[in-house]
């Protein structure tokens, strides 16, 4: 197992002996093979590896969007192996924020409303949610675009709204699948700096799947996966 020995805020998520197969024998495809991984709070972890090596599958298992075929998944200190579907979903809603390659914003809502709905769902009053959303848009540098629809924002700006949404959720785990893939290098840097700040300022565990080696210097940990197995884990900074 790859265990980080540097001081940290604790373990936000842990996979033990996680394997995953798609399909059924004899046409089953083993995509993850006995993966052990600890994700630290307050750190930015990059997950790198060739196309088809299992990165997205691993991220969706960590983010409780998919149950593995075998193995233990712990999020927020809780072993979820024997949990019901509804517990699994409840922990996901509470603990996990996702950022996808194409930001997955709600197209009919403005930037501010996209962030506000997350605060609404937590039971905040409309006034508190609206001003909270505005504050988060300020943090990602988009206060002046609050009333724009996603279609009226650039790709980099849409990703920054997606990050503001992740900030609005209370979760300890922020997972991003190739968040900079469709961005120019300047926007990619802004997005990565914001993700870095989620780890540094907010103490969240941030896991980013990427092919972009330019991001390595911004990471605390770089985990490399090949053919469904973790082959190395090294410090990036
Ligand atoms: N729903 C599915 N059903 C069957 N096979 C799948 C499914 N999703 C992914 N796979 C296969 O599992 C393997 C790993 O896929 P995964 O999406 O995890 O790779 P990845 O490392 O994220 O690749 P990329 O860098 O191209 O996004 C691939 O061979 C893929 O074809
Ligand atoms: Mg992928």
pLDDT tens readout for residues 100-117:
877 789 999 999 999 999
Ligand with the closest atom to the CA of 51: 1
Whole-number pLDDT of residue 9: 67
Q: What are phi and psi of 157, to 5 degrees?
A: -65, -40
At residue 231, the pLDDT reads 97
**Ligand 1 mean position, distance from CA 15 (Å):** 19
Q: How confident is the model at residue 236 (pLDDT cuts 50, 70, 90)?
A: low
90 lines ligand 1 (CB under 6 A): no
Q: Give nearest CA residue, ligand 1 atom 26.
A: 51
173 bridge partner residues: 96, 205
Cβ of 145 closer than 6 Å to ligand 1, yes or no, is no
Contact 177, 56 (CB under 8 A): yes
Q: Are the beta carbons of 21 and 196 closer than 8 angstroms?
A: no
Does 31 contact ligand 1 (Cβ within 6 A)? yes
The model's pLDDT over 57-115, given as tens digits with 9 standing for 90+, comes to 999 999 999 999 999 999 988 899 888 999 999 999 889 988 887 778 999 999 999 99
Report yes or no on 5 lying in a domain: no
16-27 average pLDDT score:
93
Alpha carbon distances (Å) from 44 to 50, 193, 230, 234? 20, 11, 17, 12
220 is in which domain, residue-wise? 11-235
* Residue at 1 is within a domain: no
Report the number of distinct structural domains present in the chain.
Answer: 1
What is the rounded distance in angstroms from the CA atom of residue 32 to the CA atom of residue 20? 5
Indicate which atom in ligand 1 lies nearest the CA of residue 23: 4
Q: What is the pLDDT of residues 108-149, one digit of tens each?
A: 999 999 999 999 988 899 999 999 999 999 999 999 999 999
pLDDT tens-digit series, residues 196-215: 999 999 999 999 999 988 88
Q: Which ligand 1 atom sits closest to the C-alpha of 53?
A: 21
The answer as to whether 204 is a domain residue is yes
* Separation CA 90–CA 78 (nearest Å): 12
How far apart CA 156 and CA 111 sit, in angstroms, is 13
63 alpha carbon to ligand 1 midpoint, in Å? Answer: 16
Number of H helices, E strands in the chain: 6, 10
Q: Establish whether residue 55 lines the binding site of ligand 1, counting it when its CB lies within 6 angstroms of any ligand atom.
A: yes
Q: What number does the ligand 1 atom closest to the CA of 209 have? A: 22
Q: What is the pLDDT of residues 179-198, one digit of tens each?
A: 888 888 888 888 899 999 99
30: cis peptide before it, omega within 30°? Answer: no
What pLDDT does residue 7 have?
A: 47
Output the domain CATH number for residue 28: 3.40.50.300
The mean pLDDT value of the chain amounts to 91
**Residue 193 CB burial class (10 angstroms; 0-12, 13-18, ≥19):** exposed
């Amino acid at each position: 197992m790859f265990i980080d020995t540097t001081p940290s805020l604790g373990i936000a998520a842990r996979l033990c002996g996680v394997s995953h197969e798609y399909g059924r024998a004899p046409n089953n495809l083993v995509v993850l093979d006995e993966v052990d991984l600890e994700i630290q709070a307050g750190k930015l972890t990059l997950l790198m590896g060739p196309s088809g090596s299992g990165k997205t599958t691993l991220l969706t298992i960590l983010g409780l969007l998919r149950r593995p075929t075998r193995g233990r998944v712990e999020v927020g200190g809780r072993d979820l192996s024997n949990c019901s579907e509804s517990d699994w979903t409840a922990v996901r809603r509470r603990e996990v924020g996702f950022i996808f390659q194409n930001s997955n914003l709600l197209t009919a809502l403005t930037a501010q409303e996209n962030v506000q709905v997350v605060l609404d769902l937590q039971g905040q009053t409309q006034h508190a949610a609206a001003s909270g959303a505005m504050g988060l848009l300020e943090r990602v540098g988009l206060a002046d675009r609050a009333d724009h629809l996603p279609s009226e924002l650039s790709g980099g700006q849409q990703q920054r709204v997606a990050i503001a949404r992740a900030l609005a959720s209370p979760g300890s785990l922020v997972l991003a699948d190739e968040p900079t893939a469709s961005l120019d290098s300047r926007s990619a840097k802004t997005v990565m700096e914001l993700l870095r700040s989620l780890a540094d300022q907010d103490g969240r565990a941030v896991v980013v799947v990427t092919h972009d080696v330019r991001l390595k210097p911004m990471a605390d940990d770089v985990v490399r996966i090949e053919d469904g197995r973790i082959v190395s884990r090294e410090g990036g900074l």
